[in-house]
Structure 1
Amino acid sequence: MTARSRPAASGTSGPARPAALSDGVSHAGIVAAVGVAVVAAVSQSAGSVVGIVTGADPAFRSWPLLVLLAALPAALAVGLLLRGKPGIAAGVLAGAGVVAAGGVIADVQFAIDATRMARPELLLPEREAAPEWAGLGPLLAGKALLVVAGVMALRASRSLPDDTSGREQVRQPLALLAAAAGLLLAIGGLIAPYISNDPLLLDTSALDGPPPVLTGAALLVLAVPAAAALGVAGGAGGFANGLLGGLALGGLTIALPPLVAAWRLPFLHVTAGPIVVIVGAACLALLATLPGDRLAALLLRRDDGLALPRLRVLYAIAGGLAIASGVCAFAGAMTPLVIGPGGERVSSPAQWLLYPLGLGLGLLGVVAFLPAVAARLRPVFSVAWSAVLLAGGQVLTVPIAAEELPIRTEQGAAGWWTFGAIVFALLLAVCSLVAGVVEREETGRLPAVADADDSGGSGGALIGGGAALAAALSLGAFLLPVARTPSYATTALTEQVDLAYGGVLLTTLAVLGVLLLVPRSGKEPAIALLAAVTGVVVIRLLEWYAVGRRYEAAFAPGALFAMAAVVVLVALVVMVAARGRSAER
C-alpha cells in the first residue's frame, strides 16, 4: 500500500495529526494555485475586452470566445476542487500552464510589431498599430500568472492524494500515446492557422513568423509531448488525467479562435493547422477520460499474471508511422514546392533526397509488421527519423523564402507533404523510444559489445575507438557543407542559421548520441543502430549528388568526411557482427 492510498491512523490523535497537517498544507497549496488561476483568468479576460492595440480593432466580435477560453482552466479546477478531486485540479492547471508558457512568449510580439501577428480575434492590422498597454498588459500578465499557477499546482501535487486508480499498469504505453497526441497538437500550432485574402492580415505560419512567435511555437513542440509523457509516466493517476485535460484545454485556445475567425470572416479560409490541433486535443481528452480497464485491455497482454505492454502493438505502430512518413516523403519529391505567377513550378534540389528516404522508410515500415524481425529492426527507427528532418528542413526553406518575394506565388503540395513526413518521423521517434524502454524492462540489461572478451581480447576497445572515430567523422560531415556552388545555398552547421540548419543540428545530435550508445548496446541493437547511422550519413553524402544534378557543384570537405565516416561505420558493423561473446537483445 502506497503512502497516498494508506488510510489515516486510528486511535489517539497524536500519530494522526502529522498526516492531517500534511493534508492541510497540500490542500492549501492547490487552493492557492487555483486562486492564482482565477486571477489569471480575470486578467486575460480584461485584456481581451479592453483591446491590445490602438488604431486597430478585432476582425470580429471575439471577446466572448476569448473570455470563455481564458476562464475554462480556472473554472474546471475550481469545480474539481469543490468535488474533492484536488489531484486532478492540479493536473489541469499544470497542463494549461504549459501551453500558456508558449502563448505568453508569442504574444510579446504584440508589443514589438502587432501587424506581423496572424491573430484576427485580437486585431485586424492597419498600416500602423501601437500597443494598448491597458489591455496588452493584463493579457500578458494573465498568461504569465497561469504559468505560475501551473508551477504551484505541480509542487502541490506531490503531497496530494491520488484521485484515481487502476492506471498504474498502463503508464508506459499510455505515456507513448499521450506524447504522440501532444506532439500532434503542437505540430498543428506550427501550421498556418488560415489562408487570408486580405493583404493586411497575414496568414503566415509560426515557422515563418517573427522570433517570439517561432520561439513560443518551438517551446510547445518540445514541452507539450514531454509534459504529457512525463506526467503520465511519473505522476499519480489523478494528476496525470488532469494534466492531459489541461493540455487539451490549452489546445482549444490555439485552435478555436482561427476556426471561428474563418467561419465569421469571408476573406479567411480554414487550413489543416487548427484541425490538427483539435485532433490532438481530442486524443488527449480521450486518454484522460478513458477508464483504466479499457486501456489495459487495449494496450496490455498478460503473461503469468503480469501485465506487460504489447510490444507487437508498438512495433505495428512504428511500422505504420514509418510507412506514412515514407509515403509523404515520396509525394513531397514528386510534387511542386512553389507555383510562380506564370504557373511555372519551382522545386528544390533537396527534394530528390526524399526519394531514397521515402523508399527506405516504406520498406522498413512493411518489414516492421513481420514478428520475426520486428524486434531486431526497432533500433533502426531510433535514428532513421532524423534523416527526414535533415532533408525536409532543406526542402521547406524554399516555400518559406518564397513568401518574402515581391511577386505573388502559391504554395505547392510538396511543402505540405514534406511537413507531414516530418510529423510522422517525429512520432516514429517517440514510438521507438517507448518500445526500447519496454524491451529493456522485459529482457533486462544485456552485455555490451564493447565488453572485453573472456580471453582478454582487445575487440571491445576497438569497437569503442571505432565508434568515437565515426562520431568525429560524422560531426565533420554535418559541420561542413558537402557541396559548393554559387547557385545554391548548401546547409551545414557552419552556414546560415535557418530552418534547414535546425534539421542538420537535430540530425547531428541524434547521430552522435547513438554512436555514444553503440558500445554499451547488445550485439543486434548495435548492428541495427550502426546500419541506421550509416544510412543517415549516406543521405548527407547524397546531397552533393542532388545539388549536382541541377548545378555545377564542387566537392566540399563535408563530403570527404561523410565518405570516411561511411567506411568506418561499415567496418564497425562487420566488427560487431564478428563478436562471438556479444549478447543478443
Structure 2
Amino acid sequence: MSSRALDELRLAERRPVVLVAALAMSGLAALLLVAGSLVPVVDGAARGYAAQPVLVVLAVLPLVVAAAFALRGSTGLASGVLVGVAALAPGRAVLDLQFAVDPSLTVRPELYLPSDLLEHSAAAGLWFLVAGHVATAIAGVLALSAHGEVSEQDATEQEGATRWRQRWLLVVVVAAVVTAVGLVMAPFGSDDVYLLVRNAFEGPAVALTGYLLLAAALPLGAALAVSAGSRDLARGCLVGLAVAAATVAVPALLAGVSLDSATLGAGPVVALAGIAGLVAVAATRPADPSPAAGTDEAGEANLPGRTRLLAGTGGAALVTAFLALLGAVTDQLSTAGPVPPPDSPARWLLLAAGLLVGVLGIAMFVPALALRARPVLSVAWAGVLMAGTAVLDTAITATSVAGGIVSAGPGVVWTWLAMIAAVVTACCAVVAGIVEREDADEGLGTDEDGHGTAPALNLLTPLVAAGVLAVAAFGMPVVVAPDYVAAGLWTEFGTPSWGLLAGLLTVLGALTLVPRSRPGAAAGLLAGVVCLLGLHAAALPLTAGDIDGASAGIGFWLALAAIVAVLVTAAMTLAGRRRA
C-alpha cells in the first residue's frame, strides 16, 4: 500500500473521533447559551417579554440538527451545520458585548428592556453567552477538521456537484445578502422613550460592529460553502448559516409582536425570507447529469451560466448607479419651515461613484468588454459605500441636533438602497469571478485571451508600497478646513469612517489577489483599485465648494502616490504578460 493511501486511511479513521469532539463542543456551547438565556445579562434588569423558551430552543437547535445528520450517517452535512453556525459566532459575540459597554443602548428586549436612566452593569448571563459563542466557534473549527479533504468522486458525481454549484451559487449569495440586509434594518418599531430602536448604522459602535460582522459573514460564508468541492458540506453550511441567522431574527420578530409599545418591523421579515432561501437551496440535490445538458461533445463539464452571471452583475450595477443618482440629486433633508435644508457636501461624490459603477455595468453587457470590466467592478463598487456613508452622515448629524425641525428626506432612502444594491453587485461580481476562474482552469495555464498566466516579474515591492500608501491615504483627511474636521479611521471615527474602512479593505483584498490572478484579471483588479483611490482623492474637488476654506489634506497626496504605485504595478503586470 502506498504512503498516500496510508495517510488517507489514517485520516478516515480520525474523522469520526474529531466529529464526536466537535459535537461535544457544540453541546457545551448549547449549555452555555441556554444558561445565558435564562440568567440575567444585566443586573436589576427585566425582560420585555417571556422569551426564555424560544431562546432555549434556538440555543440547542444547531446541536440537534447536526446530531440528527450525524446519526443518519451524513457526516458532511453534520460538519457543515457546525461550520455554518460558527461563521456567525464572532458577530453574535460582539453584538452581545454591547451589554457590557452600555446596556441602555441595546435593542434586545428578549434579554433586557430598559426602563430607567440609571447605569446598569453586566451580569453573569452575558459572559455565559460570550463563552457559548466561543465554544461554537471552536466546534466549527473541529468540524471543518473532521471533514478534512474532499473525498475523490467519480466523474459522474463530480459533474453533478459542479452543475449544482453553477445553478445555485448566485441564488445562495443573493439569499445571504437579503438575510444580511434584514439583520441590519431596524428590528421593529417602538413608542417607548427608553427603547430607542434604530437600524444598525444609527446604533452604538459595538453593536454596529457585530451586525457588520454578521452581514459580511453571511454572503462570504455562503459563497465559499457552495464553491467548496463537497456538496454535503456546502448544504450543511447553508443550514448552519440559516440557523445562526434565525437566532438573531426570530427574537426581534417576536419582540415586535409581543411588546405593547412595539410594532412589527420589516427587518426580521426580510431576514427570514433570505433564511428560507438558504434552506430551500440546501434541500436541493443535483440532477443526474446528461450529455445534452451541462457537458460538451467530449463529455466534459462546461459552465453554461457564465454569460447569465455577467449579465446579472451588469444589471445589478445599473440598478446601483440609478439609485446612487437618485440619492445624489434628491434632498437628503427636509424641513417644515420655509428655510431650505442643507445639502450634503458628499452628494457629488456619490454621483461620481454611481456613474462609475453604471459605466462598468453597461460594459458587462458588451461581450468584448465583460470579462475585462468584471474585475474592475468587483473593486469599484465600494466607492458607493464610501460616498453613501458620507451622505448619510449629514442626515444623521442634522436630525440628531436640530431638535426635530429637520427630518430625513427621500435622498436618504435612495442612498440606503444604493448601498444595498452595491453589496449585491459585489456579490454577483465575486460569484461571476469564481465561475470564470473555474472555466479558465480548463485552459491549462491561459487567461481569457489565451495568454500565459505565470507571473513574469516580481510584483511584491510595488504591491506592498501601494498597500502601505493606501492605508495612509484612507486614514488621513483628504480635505482640511479651519472649521471642518473630516471623519477618519484613527481619529473622529464616525459614519463616513465605515465607508472608508470598506474601501480600504476592498483595496487591500484586491492587492492581495493580484499575484494569484491571471494577468488580465490582475490588471482589472488594479484598475479597480485606481478607480477607488481616485474617488477618494476626488473628494477634494467635488466637496471643496461646500466647505469654506477647504484645501488639500495629506490624504489627497497620499492617494495620488498610491495611484502611481498601482499604475507601476499594472505596467509590470502587462509587461510580464507580453513577455509570456
Q: Same fold by TM-score, threshold 0.5 exceeded?
A: yes
Please say if 1:145 is aligned against 2:135: yes
Task: Map residues 77-476 of structure 1 onto 2, 5 A cutoff.
Answer: 77-127=66-116, 128=118, 130=120, 133=123, 135-158=125-148, 166-171=160-165, 174-175=168-169, 177-234=171-228, 236-293=230-287, 302=296, 304-309=298-303, 310-339=305-334, 345-402=341-398, 404-405=400-401, 407-408=403-404, 410-437=407-434, 438-439=436-437, 440-443=440-443, 444-446=445-447, 447=451
Q: Distance in 1 between matches of 2:100 and 2:51?
A: 20
Partner of 2:301, secondary structure, is strand
Q: Distance in 2 between matches of 1:565 and 1:130?
A: 47
Residues 334 and 407 of structure 2 are in contact (CA less than 8 Å); yes or no, is this contact kept in structure 1? Answer: yes
Q: Which moved more, 1:131-140 or 1:28-37?
A: 131-140
Q: Which moved more, 1:380-389 or 1:485-494?
A: 485-494
Partner of 1:195, secondary structure, is strand
CA distance 1:104–1:221, change in 2 (3 Å):
same
Q: Which moved more, 1:179-188 or 1:103-112?
A: 179-188
Residue deviations 1:311-361, cap 9 Å, x none? 202201211221121122122213333445759645311122222322332
Q: Which amino acid aligns with 1:547?
A: T
Please say if 1:539 is aligned against 2:552: no
CA distance 1:303–1:465, change in 2 (3 Å):
farther
Q: Distance in 2 between matches of 1:74 and 1:347?
A: 52
Aligned to 2:496: 500
Partner of 2:193, secondary structure, is coil
Q: Which moved more, 1:207-216 or 1:236-245?
A: 207-216
Q: Distance in 2 between matches of 1:506 and 1:76?
A: 35
Q: Distance in 2 between matches of 1:320 and 1:416?
A: 20
Residues 164 and 285 of structure 2 are in contact (CA less than 8 Å); yes or no, is this contact kept in structure 1? Answer: no
1:258 Cα offset (Å): 1.4
Residues 519 and 574 of structure 2 are in contact (CA less than 8 Å); yes or no, is this contact kept in structure 1? Answer: no
Partner of 2:210, secondary structure, is helix
Q: Distance in 2 between matches of 1:167 and 1:449?
A: 27
1:167 Cα offset (Å): 1.6
Q: Which amino acid aligns with 1:386?
A: A
Partner of 1:549, secondary structure, is helix
Residue deviations 1:554-576, cap 9 Å, x none? 33144456567778988999x79
Residues 349 and 543 of structure 2 are in contact (CA less than 8 Å); yes or no, is this contact kept in structure 1? Answer: no
CA distance 1:121–1:481, change in 2 (3 Å):
same
Residues 223 and 431 of structure 2 are in contact (CA less than 8 Å); yes or no, is this contact kept in structure 1? Answer: no
Residue deviations 1:89-112, cap 9 Å, x none? 221122122223321222122234
Q: Distance in 2 between matches of 1:577 and 1:354?
A: 31
1:290 Cα offset (Å): 1.7
Aligned to 2:64: 75
Residues 200 and 207 of structure 2 are in contact (CA less than 8 Å); yes or no, is this contact kept in structure 1? Answer: yes
1:425 Cα offset (Å): 2.2
Residues 40 and 126 of structure 2 are in contact (CA less than 8 Å); yes or no, is this contact kept in structure 1? Answer: yes
Residues 491 and 504 of structure 1 are in contact (CA less than 8 Å); yes or no, is this contact kept in structure 2? Answer: no
Instruction: Report how many residues are paired.
Output: 561
CA distance 1:503–1:160, change in 2 (3 Å):
closer
CA distance 1:106–1:518, change in 2 (3 Å):
closer
1:188 Cα offset (Å): 3.2
Residues 86 and 160 of structure 1 are in contact (CA less than 8 Å); yes or no, is this contact kept in structure 2? Answer: no
Residues 193 and 273 of structure 1 are in contact (CA less than 8 Å); yes or no, is this contact kept in structure 2? Answer: yes
Residues 452 and 577 of structure 2 are in contact (CA less than 8 Å); yes or no, is this contact kept in structure 1? Answer: no
Partner of 2:22, secondary structure, is helix
Residues 393 and 496 of structure 2 are in contact (CA less than 8 Å); yes or no, is this contact kept in structure 1? Answer: yes
CA distance 1:502–1:212, change in 2 (3 Å):
closer
Match of 2:41 among 49, 52, 55: 52
Aligned to 1:10: none
Q: Distance in 1 between matches of 2:152 and 2:188?
A: 41
Residue deviations 1:211-251, cap 9 Å, x none? 43233223223433333333333352212211110100111
Aligned to 1:484: 480
Q: Which moved more, 1:402-411 or 1:249-258?
A: 402-411
Structure 1: tracts of 5 or more residues without a match: 7-14, 453-459
1:267 Cα offset (Å): 2.9
Q: Distance in 1 between matches of 2:327 and 2:335?
A: 18
Q: Distance in 2 between matches of 1:124 and 1:295?
A: 55
CA distance 1:224–1:568, change in 2 (3 Å):
closer
CA distance 1:85–1:524, change in 2 (3 Å):
closer
Q: Which amino acid aligns with 2:180?
A: A
Residues 291 and 299 of structure 2 are in contact (CA less than 8 Å); yes or no, is this contact kept in structure 1? Answer: no
Residues 446 and 453 of structure 2 are in contact (CA less than 8 Å); yes or no, is this contact kept in structure 1? Answer: no
Residues 319 and 368 of structure 1 are in contact (CA less than 8 Å); yes or no, is this contact kept in structure 2? Answer: yes
Structure 2: tracts of 5 or more residues without a match: none
Residues 33 and 153 of structure 1 are in contact (CA less than 8 Å); yes or no, is this contact kept in structure 2? Answer: yes
Q: Which moved more, 1:221-230 or 1:69-78?
A: 221-230
Q: Which moved more, 1:310-319 or 1:280-289?
A: 280-289
Q: Distance in 2 between matches of 1:62 and 1:55?
A: 17
Partner of 2:429, secondary structure, is helix
Q: Distance in 1 between matches of 2:234 and 2:354?
A: 36
Partner of 2:224, secondary structure, is helix
Q: Distance in 2 between matches of 1:112 and 1:580?
A: 53
Q: Distance in 1 between matches of 2:371 and 2:47?
A: 54
Q: Which amino acid aligns with 2:426?
A: A
CA distance 1:47–1:476, change in 2 (3 Å):
closer
Q: Distance in 1 between matches of 2:11 and 2:295?
A: 38
Q: Which amino acid aligns with 1:415?
A: V
Q: Which moved more, 1:341-350 or 1:416-425?
A: 341-350
1:80 Cα offset (Å): 1.8
Residues 523 and 573 of structure 2 are in contact (CA less than 8 Å); yes or no, is this contact kept in structure 1? Answer: yes
Q: Distance in 1 between matches of 2:170 and 2:288?
A: 16
Aligned to 1:457: none
Name the % identity: 35
Q: Distance in 1 between matches of 2:325 and 2:506?
A: 23
Q: Distance in 2 between matches of 1:521 and 1:87?
A: 30
Residues 476 and 488 of structure 2 are in contact (CA less than 8 Å); yes or no, is this contact kept in structure 1? Answer: yes
Partner of 2:302, secondary structure, is strand
1:117 Cα offset (Å): 0.7
Normalised TM-score (structure 2): 0.81
Residues 488 and 494 of structure 2 are in contact (CA less than 8 Å); yes or no, is this contact kept in structure 1? Answer: no
Computed over aligned residues only, the root mean square deviation of the Cα atoms, in angstroms, reads 4.3
1:201 Cα offset (Å): 0.5
Q: Distance in 1 between matches of 2:39 and 2:463?
A: 61
